Amino acid sequence: MDPAALLRYANEHLPDHLTEIRPLAGEVATSFYAGGGASAYKIKVYPADYDSERLLLETEIVRHLAGKQLPFATPRIVHEGRLAGGAAVLILPWHAGRTLDELRPLTKELRQNWGRAVAQLNNALRDAPITKALHTYAWNPSETLQHRALSKYFSAEQKILADSAWDHFERDTLPHLAALPRGLNYNDGHGANVLADEKGTITAVFDFADVVFTERLNELAIACAYAAMDVPDPIGAMADLITLYAEHQPINHPEHLLNLVRARLLITVSLAARRAVTEPENLYHQVSAAPAWSLLERLDEVHPSFATAVFRTAAGHAAPGLIDWKRLAPVSPVNLVGKSLLKLDLSVGSLQLGLNRNFEDLPRFTRHVSNLLADNGADFAYGGYGETRPVYTTDAFAQTGNDGPRWRTVHLGLDIWGPVGTAIVAPLDGYVHSTHVDPAPGSYGPTIILEHELPDGGRLYTLYGHLAVRDVNDLRSLAQQGAPRQSSGVAYASRTRVRRGDQIATFGRPEENGGWPPHLHFQVMTDMLGLRGDFPGVAFPEEAEAMLSLCPSPLAVFNLPPPLIASNQVNLSERRAATLGKSLSVSYAAPLHIVRGAGQYLYDQTGRRYLDTVNNVAHVGHEHPKVVEAIQRQAAVLNTNSRYLHDNILQLAEELTATLPPELSVVHFVNSGSEANDLALRMCAAWSGSPNVLAVETGYHGHTERLIGVSSYKFNGKGGRGAPGTTDLLPLPDVRTGLHRDPAGAGRKYGDLAQRFIAARSASGESIGSFIAESILSCGGQIVLPDDYLATVYAHVREQGGLCIADEVQTGLGRVGSHWWGFELQGVVPDIVTVGKPFGNGHPLAAVVCTPRVAEAFANGMEYFNTFGGNPVSCAAGLAVLAVVREEGLLEKALTTGNYLKQLFRELRDVHPLITDVRGAGLFLGFELETDAGHPATKQAAYLKNQMRELGFLMSTDGPHENVLKVKPPMCFTPANGDLLAHYLDRVLKKLA
């Protein structure tokens, strides 16, 4: 095909003057991009011997869809003709944008929109007035068996895999195709044919050469096949498509979807294998082969019943096979009649569960459960079905994969907690399906699974975990006459019979039941998913709904009431929007529902554990046990204002000032960093008589009206009204991009700029009353001040009668590692230091520390009183924080870990040019992102932040352009945490390359 001749042909038939033409990838038609000026087109050229009926069908479909009101564009024909020699030509408008294949990685929202678009397209084809719809086509999943002969081109391993998938299709789906709804299908909804914008909205669907009359479910299967390629969770990716597809197109037989997906993949690999031999020069035919083989391998490991359960729940179908327990009349496996029962809440946000240390250590967990029973006078406790538990979110249970660390957290069974040796009976007649003893800590320990035949011919299974070892051994001994077989520690008898009410086991001791408190884990399964001796007792959150449909509630077996339905995240978001201030934002594109914290981790309502790199307020770690205990102990005795004498406030003032230079010896306690900075400015005004403040560009100091007036991050941001007349702004002292870039003298040069503002005030008969600055500029982008900067500014401000405030709300209390306070990095002593909520580890405690002379000037007769500033409970929290910092060596750890993190970030910078600078001190760090052109990479930073959140890492952006990733985690952050963070940062940055 001569592109130049084709361009001349196009110009003869189009009103535009096209000047550019280039080839595009394609299978049957030879396609080209043609453009010039404001116009662009796609030209498709079909061989002279191309099927005329299929070409006619394509053109009729394109014209039909042009008349539909779809929310996305479809092609329209601007010219149809033939070249010399008989080749057919279609010229279509060019759809600008990015295909789904180019928008990697695909978000959940984008996959959902993809499914909706395919369903809408399928609906639009229902009334297409087609002259002759074709009923057979090579790419039709229902005709996959016609390609089986091409398996001769496969390797031996590939042939085994393909034959298994074809066998499943032939046995389980082919006989049922006649029962599936049929219609005209687009049949080509893969990622190269669908365009979307950056917001995830589908903008266009094109290429209608593959339309065929077939089973409608194939439309979804084809999109699912491509959406599931190269993703960590292929079944979950398919479920995303199904969610919105099902709102527009019914999914009547989800049990066949997996086989139809594999059928399409088999066509892909079959045709690619043949063409690799017959057309080795055409690389387009091999584009999907490798990911299709990889997906076939992964789907071969998925049990069909599990996939069907996921697809059913995604489509909004009612759970199949709900158990009619009333009709079955089971005996309670544990006799609870006349017993005192406690409903035990072990969910991730449970107040009964308390601190993480109550469950992170199994012996401590055993004591905690025992104490709960004793304290409530209960014989037994129950609970757990469908409960999201943090007990499985420790490192011992972690599974690390492409989608970040993940944990099974949703409990699928019911727990009955009680005394060792409690008898367990069979609730129904049945047979021993299998037995197993797993000695690993945290496992089921000894386990029995029974199989029960239902009156309707169906089956269900009941699982009994955490038993005494002798019970399983006795059952195995009983089964000897049935010639039991052993396989990987699993023993199962040949139809060993048990009768309703027969005792089968007892509650085991912790040392034999997997290390847990004595209890029974009882679980009902409608399908064993091909397993023996074991069955998951806990599900991943994203699979929980499907797994719960396979494991129906067993509460009725014990005559226990159903659980209350908790609020879901959607309801919380709606309630928040209705009741809280509209200016109160939430973090991340997909908001988090956080219900627990511990150390450097936060946990959402699904039990997902997130490594927290940004919450510096939890200074010594979220819910540090010593801080929690100090608050609890003092709150149980006294909490009142500071008008009374009390040891706590005095001891805290003494311990705080002991960390500061001796000049700073007078303390005023308040409740927040904003209160502290506001009070500091009042002190300065009282000292100098001037309300004028010198501040630093992009600084942030608090949310009161006075502090917004000295925070350019606020008054120059959205909704701001600019600097008030009492505020002067020093330029951001950035040696990378600012006015002065030679580090040797930049600090003095930036500091000397203060003279300009002092002189201007002096000329109008005014003065600067105060200078306020963070010791490292946080909202400025974690900017470390150049040497001599503070000393220079301090000298100028003090010379004309002003005071200098060090805002240590974020940088103080050892966070910089080498010193207790950030200002010490500059070798200066401020007149006033402000401390914020990290002082109380998040409890409302803050302080203003000043020199005696400043305190005397402020004490001008007007009483300063803060009702709860310095209350005994807050002071107890502060004392505990200071003790933990000292006892756990957190300054030294901040220095060591911070230096290690900086090295990791520099190593990332060496391989990812998007990172242009790494800076900070201790555990107050940042790394900046810029494009190749040197522009702030704001969108990339937002993408990185949100993708890391999806992977289980909480990060945030800062800087004037929001292109700096800030890292200021709780001080217990470790080098191992840094390794994991860097590993996943590398993965996401590769996607941004």
Q: What is the pLDDT of residues 48-75, one digit of tens each?
A: 999 888 888 899 999 999 999 999 999 9
The enclosing H or E element of 976 equals: helix 975-992
Q: How far is CA 646 from CA 444, 642, 880, 970, in A?
A: 52, 8, 16, 30
How do the residues of the chain divide into helix, strand and coil, expressed in percent and rounded to 5? Answer: 40, 20, 40
Answer yes or no: are the C-beta atoms of 960 and 951 closer than 8 Å.
no
Write down the residue that tokens 């066509």 correspond to: 267
pLDDT of 491 above 60? no
Write down the residue that tokens 């390359």 correspond to: 993
- pLDDT in the model for residue 493: 47
> pLDDT-based confidence at 488, cuts 50/70/90?
very low
609 φ/ψ angles, rounded to the nearest 5 degrees: -95, 130
Q: What is the pLDDT of residues 739-798, one digit of tens each?
A: 999 989 999 999 999 999 999 999 999 999 999 999 999 999 999 999 999 999 999 999
Cis before 105 (ω within 30) = yes
pLDDT of 482 above 70? no
Answer yes or no: are the C-beta atoms of 840 and 631 closer than 8 Å.
no
Q: Which of 406, 451, 459 is nearest to 433 (CA)?
A: 451
> pLDDT-based confidence at 396, cuts 50/70/90?
confident
Write down the residue that tokens 């510096």 correspond to: 616
Give the Cα separation of 125 and 967 in Å (integer).
Answer: 52
- pLDDT in the model for residue 38: 82
By DSSP bridging, strand 770-774 and strand 693-696 are parallel
- Which residues sit opposite 599 in a β-bridge? 622
All domains of the chain in start order, with CATH:
3-93 (3.30.200.20), 98-314 (3.90.1200.10), 325-558 (2.70.70.10), 596-620+889-993 (3.90.1150.10), 641-887 (3.40.640.10)
- pLDDT in the model for residue 401: 65
For the chain, give the percent of residues with pLDDT over 90: 78
Q: What is the pLDDT of residues 246-291, one digit of tens each?
A: 999 999 899 999 999 999 999 999 999 999 999 887 776 678 899 9
The tokens for 230 are 């190269």
pLDDT of 379 above 70? yes
